[in-house]
Structure 1
């Protein structure tokens, strides 16, 4: 069931790439996250799909404790390496599947997840679990790759993402995220659609995208409608992308 084995395979063999990734470890992004969350020093935080540990480390400096989870053991090992290099000792790492979290209701003051939701095979169940383990008044933070609202972009950009990474499930547009979140006991405090660029060939190299799939990605980009091409500029060394950032409070 789901895509967990594909996720473990793809990320297990490339775990160190993600610990060293400038995208995932971008200090400006991490500082913005901390400023949005305004963590209390006695808070306990959960970092969902920690990857190389960047989110956990950023939070650990301003909270009491961070539990960093992932389904890929190699990723957790990289997160431990990164935390030791940063001289951080209040992070606990453990294997967990976001779809079935082994935590009681209302345990965490903060639940954060960056660049992970597009891999969740049942995003509604995953976000329900993230919400369940939040305390009332707790803060949910999500940052993930996204697509512009629209039938073409929601379909074609996800085709590109899947060609690049076989464990990709879906990059959700803002309208799709609204549908995912609107039935949960959450009050949305902040959202932002952020325009970014994937640098090439690094974006391909990080997942070992085959030359054939790279060619197909550019074929799709070249065949987008003129309106979509305005949104998704590209060149030999970059592809335009979008990220969606969400801060919500559990009621």
Structure 2
């Protein structure tokens, strides 16, 4: 079983640096229907300056860019930003710039942006409350924050199951939070939470593990955890098996929300 200790920022940079191509090429990251849902919540406008935090492969930045003046794609991992630059060049996108940045200490002035986006990343942030306060700081008053991330159910057993298998798969996973936790983080940072959406996302387990670059021992441990899941976890996460007992898919929860800086 993978270590359950808190990762370091160097661990995170190493993990996403070595797997940067896998995340750029990931269909669920590049073409998920949730990208359109995120765009709808953002309601981008022509003059907007947008920061995409923890941009990863840059898929959110690329989706937003056609509708706004400029996007800054920031990430802790330089290799990820190299992939973003390659994609921008290949697609002829000229209004995206990149910036190596730690979300807990963003290198931007106060009130520098009209909107901030962050998709499928905060579960890797070491200090989530500090990160949310930094996002609030760099937004102008009335600015919009659109968040998407994995969501832990309120039921403790289901919360513990998903966070355990995520941490086994990728030791840089810190925590998927509940909706109540997210509301508290945002309100404490001076946001007013507006529209929220919860949707389900099905993962092919073999691909999900491959994207994290796991070794055989880790793969077996994760499979075992799914096989031994409680009836409640099997039902909620829709854990599916082939007739021969081979594990195939599971389905988890995602939270999308729009918050305004008061």
Structure 2 length-normalised TM: 0.91
State the alpha-carbon separation in 1 of the partners of residues 239 and 179 from structure 2. 22
State the alpha-carbon separation in 2 of the partners of residues 207 and 37 from structure 1. 29
State the alpha-carbon separation in 2 of the partners of residues 29 and 145 from structure 1. 12
Give the counterpart of 1:33 among 6, 29, 38: 38
Give the counterpart of 2:144 among 115, 136, 139: 139
Within 5 Å, which residues of 2 pair with 1:59-208?
59-208=64-213
Verify: 1:9 aligned to 2:20, yes or no. Answer: no
Aligned length: 251
Other-structure match for 1:247: 258
Other-structure match for 2:48: 43
Which is bigger in relative contact order (C-alpha 8 A, separation at least 6)?
Answer: 2
Q: Is the contact between residue 39 and residue 63 of structure 1 (CA under 8 Å) also seen in structure 2?
A: yes
Other-structure match for 2:3: none
Gaps of 5+ in 1: none
Listed one character per residue, the Cα deviations across residues 26-81 of structure 1 (whole Å, up to 9, x for unaligned) are 25222221111111100000000111111111111000011110111100000011
State the alpha-carbon separation in 1 of the partners of residues 248 and 7 from structure 2. 33
Secondary structure of 1:203's partner?
helix
C-alpha displacement of 1:4: 1.0
State the alpha-carbon separation in 1 of the partners of residues 137 and 16 from structure 2. 27
Which sits farther off after the overlay, 174-183 or 124-133? 174-183
Q: Is the contact between residue 118 and residue 171 of structure 1 (CA under 8 Å) also seen in structure 2?
A: yes
Other-structure match for 1:232: 237
Verify: 1:58 aligned to 2:69, yes or no. Answer: no
Other-structure match for 2:243: none
Gaps of 5+ in 2: 1-5, 241-246
Runs of 4+ residues over 4 Å off in structure 1: none
Structure-2 change in CA distance of 1:22 and 1:127 (3 Å):
same
Structure 1 length-normalised TM: 0.95
